[in-house]
A = this chain, B = another copy of it.
Amino acid sequence: MNLIEEFNDYRARMNDKILAADNKVLKRIFNLDTNAFAEGAIDIRTKEMLGLACSMVLRCDDCVKYHLGKCKEVGLNKVEIFEVFSIATLIGGSIVIPHLRRAAEYWEELDNQ
């Protein structure tokens, strides 16, 4: 199983279990996530770049993978993705670089699908 399926399967399976626990606050946070990234005054492409950049500076590999998947869906290309990477690495510092490596690997897989 490749990186993409592995991530998506685990994510979907555990999200189901978390929602099944029926905690109202957690369910609303999950819901908000959908709302915040919907088309608004800011278009979806830009919002996904925001999600990607924030995930990188906060150094969360899974969040980076999720937003890279979305960035691919909304049609961002490799040059744009690497500009987001460069801004996040500059702001977040060289401590971001190991996450950049895993992000570049995941993007490559998305590109080869």
Contact = CB atoms under 8 A, between A and B. Distances in A.
Interface residues of A, number: 64
| Residue from A30, A55, A57, A62 with most neighbouring chain B CB atoms (10 Å) | A57
A100 interface: yes
Nearest to A96: B93
Contact of A54 (B57, B78, B108): B57
Interface in A74-104: 77-80, 82-98, 100-102, 104
B36 A90 contact: yes
Given A50-B49, A80-B42, A29 B90 contact: yes
Contact of A42 (B18, B49, B90, B94): B49
State the 8 A-B residue pairs at the shortest beta-carbon distance, nearest first.
A93-B93, A62-B98, A14-B101, A25-B86, A41-B79, A23-B82, A92-B93, A50-B53
